[in-house]
Structure 1
Amino acid sequence: MTAVDDPDRMIFESSEPMDPLAESEDAQVKNRAKVGSARPSSLLYTFGVGSIMDLPQFSVMPAGLDDWEPIWRRRETIPVIEEPRLLKVVQLHLGPRVQQLRPFPWQPKARAMSQEGSDLGIPARVFPQWLRCTGCDYLGPLSRFSYTNTHPFRPDLATFEHVSCPGRGLNKNKTPGTKGKTRRSPAVPARYLLACVNGHLDEFPYALWAHRGKPCPAAPQPDLKLIDSNIGQGAGAVIVCERCRQRRSMSEAQGAAGKRKLPGCRGRHPHLNAFDSSCDQQPTTLMMMGASNLWFASTQSIIVMPRTAEQDKTALATRMRTLLTEEELTDYGSVAKILRSLLNAHKCDLTDVTDEELLAAAAEALAPPPSEEERKEKLRQWDPVELLVPEWGYLQKPALFAQQQDASGLMVTETATSPDLPDQIHRVIAVNRMKKVNAVLGFTRIDEMDRVNDLATRLVKLTRDGRPTWVPATEDRGEGIFLQLDENKVADWETKIVNTGLWKAHRQAHRHNFSRRFSATAADIDPDTRFPAPRYWLIHTLSHILIREMAMSCGYGAASLSERLYAWPATPDRPAAAGLLICTTSSDSDGTLGGLVALSQPERLRGLVADALQRAARCSSDPVCGQRTPRHGEDFLHGAACHCCSFASETSCERANRFLDRRFLLTLPTIDDERVPGFFGSVDGY
């Protein structure tokens, strides 16, 4: 880096090494030992590829998919999650090269003390790679610290230490309780980073920051200290050069004025150990290591439904492309006997596949993929609701429920409703068993995908070439309850809502929020196309109050319950939907204990719905909560809803507690606003 005309602004100079930490990374001995563990769900939504995962003593970043390949090659066969409907969506987003959905590299132990599977795991890199000594405040790159983990079965003891730490003040050169021994102090990550909306992440240039973009006059690589006079408060940290005694507070890098002093983006991807050729983000954004907007997962999920014959053919075609070479497919794609022999050699089960089906799948495998222009056009027009339409359609056909003995893992039962259940609830279905498959598309930084029109360029690539052949996925099993509202009543209620002042206020708040918070990298789109219909607000709010009520009697915690909303008006391509599925899913047996589906029994559900509506009629924050309406440029995306009455945990809500309003459920008392007709009428004479 070098100084420019502005003495407080810094840029990277091409004559310098691309990565000032390159030599420190190369100097480190690669450690293949286990340093931590996480559940598949957290690796999917919280600590996935490119995120920063806090360990007890330091932090790591799960590496890109290129580094996963050698891990899986330690097995003769690589397990695959076969779900054609989800794979098709992944290919739409990432390209036709993606041919597989793979689970995380893990296998269960056959015995308690067995070492089976110990050679599997997700590779990760230490990041940030600038650490701070807790004994003397020394700030330096990874190569200046020593990695230790003396206990092979205690990965939580792994740590980086500052050998020969001088200590502070009266404690200098002394180790408590010892005499004549070298002091070793643990080091912790230096928490400041640089990020950009294109998904790049970099170390903060501490040395150049302290010297205001110039080299140290006393030494080419001076020792630094990060002195934090107010632990936990970023503004209290000061970077001090030990050689020339220059110092600079980190508070200068914060806010709009501080942003102008930061360098431009170098296009660094730490999870790939690589750089993009260019990035137009000038300057970068200061980011704290634990910031909630440092990493946003972009995933898609489906509930596995019984397959159609067309989906079976697509699944077999995908297996052919994976197991056979292009030459084998071309030469023998029309010879069923040879094709069957080749696939049997790869242990592909073709017991129930006829020769005609085999040849049809081969023809599909040989068909050229759509062009890149066609894929991008389909992606531009794609609506995530398309994933929900087959599920909604299946639940509308009770005659299919008896045909559930297949690999889908789905078992649903239509349940009788209590006469005292509100007649606005049309059907109740007990989901005794279900399987949910979740796939990773990528991730973003600073802005989540909902703010950026799902632009493909916003997704940070998972491989160095940006063209993965597979993506990580998880298979969760669980149970749930499906409630369907009366479509005629919902449609009549919507016609009353769309002309109310409350609905107009919510629409205007959404437009303002959209224009103010929308990412600069987004396309120019109409905010009204992203504004959910009144039925969505209704069903979303109903889902939240039911989740809060069910958590008190189903045996699962509220954070374990999640919603899946089917709420869209009729279009020429699909019929209207008005229903919700409250479910719990887990990668182990925790999601199939039966406590949730038991609530679908008529009397239990009647009491549960009545209690939920009764609680929703009042909030301990009323009248403030009950009369919350955005006005005068306010842009919050909820109405009469708060943590006391309607908000759910982040793991439960699919829209981050947006688009909620109890006034759409029940007619609540008001003082200066018009009374909005609630879908379920009034409670207690309201």
Structure 2
Amino acid sequence: MRRASGQGPTGPQVPQGPRIIGSVRRSHVASTFGPGAVVDFRAPASGAPLSGLVTGLEEWDRAAPNGRTGLLHFQRTYEPRLQRLLRVGGFRLPPVKEAADESWTDVLPVVRFPHWLMCPICERLAPAYEFSFDPNMPERRCASCSRDASTTYAVPVRFIVACENGHLDEFPWTRWIDCKCASPRLVLKTTGAGLAGKLVQCMNTDCSGSPRSLEGAFGKRALSTRGMWCAGKRPWLPTAPERGCTMAPQVVQRGASSVYYSAIESSLDIPPFSPNLSQVIGPYAEDVMKCSPEEWPAFIRINRLEEKSGTSKEELLRTFEEWRQWHEGKEADAPLEWAEYRQLNLSAQEPVDKGEFQTRPEPVPQELEPYIDSVVLARRLREVRALVGFNRIKPSSGPFRSDNNSRLGCISVQPPKWLPAVELRGEGIFIRFSENALEAWEGEKVRARAGWLASRRTNPHAEPADEALRTGPRFLLLHSFAHALMRQLSLTCGYSSAALRERLYVGNDPYDMCGVLIHTGSADSEGTLGGLVRQGKQAFLENTIREMLVSMAWCSSDPLCITCAVTLSSPDNLSACHACLLVPETSCQHFNLLLDRAMLVGTPEDPTVGYFNPLLAKSS
């Protein structure tokens, strides 16, 4: 990580020459700690606490080695289907620096945020520049509380301001107490428990303001009712604040999960793009599609693709033709999941071994045949996950749409030509549900329960068709099944709960889908243990699902959980809480929302609501 020395009037000003202040895992940079996210560090020498914002993509290019900006960077990757959806030329992997390599300059820039700090001893509250510091050092110290034997470092304040349009700002400390002093002398005193015990006060004797506690500061209208509206600030970008934001700003804690909900789009590497040579010729994909087939031999010769890929001209021409057929076919404009779903269905008939995509069919256990049509074991998968933006306060209400993403916070000033992404390689289990069984199950009672959840949802920005699909019985069933299976697999095959990830295939005509892929979602060694595929074999899968259903039949929060008497997780869920269905948010595509355990096992009043209730009755 590299720190930015300060913030100018229009945004972060990054100094020449990096100063390393901490590290973040690469996979986290393309998710929870992307551009615009707040990251906590410790100063390398003193251990003083620091807080900063990951800056936008333009600053990534400024920090890159000379001549290696954009897609000229060493660390890049490609996935043609995802590139087409996101309208970019490729993807950049977050920079990696070896600890012992002092010459490497490609690091991730951050800018200090929040700028207001507090002394933990004297409780002084002031901007960072008012505290003492050593030249070129990021930490700040309180001079009056520091002695020769010890140094007291100022800590970042806990409270910041955000809005649903992605803006971020400092907490208005002086306006909160109506202080109009030219040189405020603020303190944040602790006089008791909770926010009521946090008292903001100006120590100037002639201050016109009045001491005030932080009680009520987290209310949705706590700032707007006092005339404080969103200023449209984006301190992670080198631009002036956006004008005209009408969202009411809300006070949040600096480390709260609601400060940054990453918007991620991902795709699996499937034929015809899965062969290894796709990584070599990936940079030329757009140019190849612009050429006619008659021009391809010359294109191969001019760009020396045979030499670079180690592949014959004939093989390259066959690959180009497969790419052209996909590009001109109807599937190119279909949802990304549709092509994957079709490929996984084909894998249920015969094994596939094409580069990064290796699958084989597995017989469905006899007891599961009424519920499941096919099982596919994916021995090798490659997933590319790209960060397209983020939300604050509330997560995104639907899938990414290039023509309707106004609520996404920007990760760059200009429309990006590349996006940060990570590659995940691992294994997985694909389960396709029985279409006939689903249609028989989706009766009036099941639809009424799903309609109950739909009536509780308040999503003014959601597309009606997407919202109807995501609150339908089929989506709730498959999503809840994926969570329950991940929790059970983490107990039986040795993966941590955060190492598994769901991928849902749910759709309506003309893209009818009803499947679930549980795969390894980690970029480290956990992606190649082999234990996940083993649990998908016929001899193990039936017991795994039976044990899963038994565990779902009773939750430690019942009867409150199963009856929905109290919302234990979110109004966007029915029977779901941390004790039964919720998983780490990095494992879920939908932020642990749209879940209902009753869709699996039924309710005490009506067990038939549960899709697997007959199987559960046999297991009891």
**Alignment TM-score, normalising by the size of structure 2:** 0.82
Paired with 2:286 and 2:482, the residues of 1 have a C-alpha distance of 42
Contact 1:207 1:241 in 2 (8 A): no
1:669 aligns with 2:618: no
1:160 aligns with 2:171: no
- 2:77 aligns with 81
1:536 to 439, 451, 475: 475
1:132 aligns with 2:79: no
Report the 3-state secondary structure (helix = DSSP H, G, I; strand = E; otherwise coil) of the residue aligned with 2:609.
coil
1:636 to 571, 574, 577: 571
State the Cα distance separating 1:418 from its structure 2 match. Answer: 3.6
Paired with 2:473 and 2:24, the residues of 1 have a C-alpha distance of 39
- 1:251 aligns with 215
State the Cα distance separating 1:471 from its structure 2 match. Answer: 0.7
- 1:287 aligns with 252
More divergent stretch after superposition (70-79 vs 385-394): 70-79
1:617 aligns with 2:553: yes
For residues 627 and 25 of structure 1, do their structure 2 counterparts lie closer, same or farther at Cα, with a shift above 3 Å needed? Answer: closer
Paired with 1:481 and 1:524, the residues of 2 have a C-alpha distance of 31
Listed one character per residue, the Cα deviations across residues 187-245 of structure 1 (whole Å, up to 9, x for unaligned) are 11123323222222122332344335xx31xxx23332222334774762413244535
State the Cα distance separating 1:606 from its structure 2 match. Answer: 2.0
For residues 244 and 452 of structure 1, do their structure 2 counterparts lie closer, same or farther at Cα, with a shift above 3 Å needed? Answer: farther
State the Cα distance separating 1:85 from its structure 2 match. Answer: 0.3
For residues 318 and 493 of structure 1, do their structure 2 counterparts lie closer, same or farther at Cα, with a shift above 3 Å needed? Answer: same
- 1:459 aligns with 408
1:565 aligns with 2:504: yes
> Equivalent residues in 2 for 1:62-73 (5 A)?
62-73=54-65
State the Cα distance separating 1:473 from its structure 2 match. Answer: 0.7
1:55 aligns with 2:47: no
Contact 2:201 2:210 in 1 (8 A): yes
> Equivalent residues in 2 for 1:393-432 (5 A)?
393-398=342-347, 402-406=351-355, 409-421=356-368, 423-432=370-379
Paired residue type of 2:211: R
Paired residue type of 2:488: E
Report the 3-state secondary structure (helix = DSSP H, G, I; strand = E; otherwise coil) of the residue aligned with 1:621.
coil
1:45 to 16, 26, 31: 31
Report the 3-state secondary structure (helix = DSSP H, G, I; strand = E; otherwise coil) of the residue aligned with 1:239.
strand
Paired with 1:182 and 1:305, the residues of 2 have a C-alpha distance of 62
- 1:260 aligns with 225
Paired with 1:492 and 1:668, the residues of 2 have a C-alpha distance of 18
Paired with 1:429 and 1:124, the residues of 2 have a C-alpha distance of 43
Paired with 2:563 and 2:16, the residues of 1 have a C-alpha distance of 59
1:681 to 603, 614, 618: 614
State the Cα distance separating 1:655 from its structure 2 match. Answer: 2.6
State the Cα distance separating 1:448 from its structure 2 match. Answer: 2.0
Contact 1:511 1:528 in 2 (8 A): no
Paired with 1:596 and 1:677, the residues of 2 have a C-alpha distance of 26
- 1:599 aligns with 535
Equivalenced residue count is: 591
Paired with 1:547 and 1:524, the residues of 2 have a C-alpha distance of 29
Paired with 2:583 and 2:118, the residues of 1 have a C-alpha distance of 37
Q: Which runs of 5+ in 2 are unaligned?
A: 1-5, 43-48
- 2:489 aligns with 550
Higher Rg of the two aligned structures: 1
1:389 aligns with 2:349: no
Q: Which runs of 5+ in 1 are unaligned?
A: 1-19, 92-97, 151-157, 168-173, 176-180, 324-328, 368-377
Paired residue type of 1:240: C
- 1:650 aligns with 585
Contact 1:538 1:661 in 2 (8 A): yes
- Aligned CA RMSD, in angstroms, stands at 4.2
For residues 677 and 70 of structure 1, do their structure 2 counterparts lie closer, same or farther at Cα, with a shift above 3 Å needed? Answer: closer
Report the 3-state secondary structure (helix = DSSP H, G, I; strand = E; otherwise coil) of the residue aligned with 1:388.
helix
Paired with 1:460 and 1:294, the residues of 2 have a C-alpha distance of 11
Paired residue type of 2:141: H
Report the 3-state secondary structure (helix = DSSP H, G, I; strand = E; otherwise coil) of the residue aligned with 1:115.
coil
1:483 aligns with 2:431: yes
Listed one character per residue, the Cα deviations across residues 511-541 of structure 1 (whole Å, up to 9, x for unaligned) are 3322xxx35xx37847853543322222222
> Equivalent residues in 2 for 1:185-334 (5 A)?
185-212=152-179, 215-216=180-181, 220-230=182-192, 233=195, 236-242=198-204, 244-245=206-207, 246-249=209-212, 250-251=214-215, 253-255=217-219, 256-281=221-246, 283-307=248-272, 319=284
State the Cα distance separating 1:616 from its structure 2 match. Answer: 2.1
Listed one character per residue, the Cα deviations across residues 566-616 of structure 1 (whole Å, up to 9, x for unaligned) are 2334x1x22x32221111122222211111111122222222122112222
Report the 3-state secondary structure (helix = DSSP H, G, I; strand = E; otherwise coil) of the residue aligned with 2:488.
helix
- 1:371 aligns with none
1:101 aligns with 2:91: yes
Paired residue type of 1:390: A
For residues 182 and 553 of structure 1, do their structure 2 counterparts lie closer, same or farther at Cα, with a shift above 3 Å needed? Answer: closer
For residues 234 and 566 of structure 1, do their structure 2 counterparts lie closer, same or farther at Cα, with a shift above 3 Å needed? Answer: farther
Paired residue type of 2:441: W
Paired with 2:15 and 2:234, the residues of 1 have a C-alpha distance of 21
Report the 3-state secondary structure (helix = DSSP H, G, I; strand = E; otherwise coil) of the residue aligned with 2:140.
strand
Report the 3-state secondary structure (helix = DSSP H, G, I; strand = E; otherwise coil) of the residue aligned with 1:49.
coil
More divergent stretch after superposition (620-629 vs 609-618): 620-629
Contact 1:438 1:475 in 2 (8 A): yes
Paired with 1:635 and 1:558, the residues of 2 have a C-alpha distance of 21
1:513 aligns with 2:477: no
- 1:32 aligns with 18
> Equivalent residues in 2 for 1:351-362 (5 A)?
351-353=311-313
Paired residue type of 1:578: C
For residues 257 and 315 of structure 1, do their structure 2 counterparts lie closer, same or farther at Cα, with a shift above 3 Å needed? Answer: same
Report the 3-state secondary structure (helix = DSSP H, G, I; strand = E; otherwise coil) of the residue aligned with 1:596.
helix
Listed one character per residue, the Cα deviations across residues 50-78 of structure 1 (whole Å, up to 9, x for unaligned) are 01011230111111000111333347652
Contact 1:625 1:642 in 2 (8 A): yes
Paired with 1:677 and 1:277, the residues of 2 have a C-alpha distance of 49
Paired residue type of 2:56: G
1:473 aligns with 2:421: yes
Contact 2:11 2:234 in 1 (8 A): no
Paired with 1:655 and 1:28, the residues of 2 have a C-alpha distance of 35
Report the 3-state secondary structure (helix = DSSP H, G, I; strand = E; otherwise coil) of the residue aligned with 1:449.
coil
- 2:3 aligns with none
For residues 74 and 509 of structure 1, do their structure 2 counterparts lie closer, same or farther at Cα, with a shift above 3 Å needed? Answer: same
Listed one character per residue, the Cα deviations across residues 402-454 of structure 1 (whole Å, up to 9, x for unaligned) are 45242xx1211112344344542222221111111001111122232217996
1:438 to 385, 402, 422: 385
- 1:17 aligns with none
Listed one character per residue, the Cα deviations across residues 302-354 of structure 1 (whole Å, up to 9, x for unaligned) are 11111269x9999968537689xxxxx99x99976875565349986485456
Paired with 1:451 and 1:405, the residues of 2 have a C-alpha distance of 32
State the Cα distance separating 1:48 from its structure 2 match. Answer: 0.9
Paired with 1:26 and 1:462, the residues of 2 have a C-alpha distance of 14
Paired with 2:115 and 2:549, the residues of 1 have a C-alpha distance of 52
Listed one character per residue, the Cα deviations across residues 90-147 of structure 1 (whole Å, up to 9, x for unaligned) are 11xxxxxx3121111225x5xxx74177422211111111111223222222222345
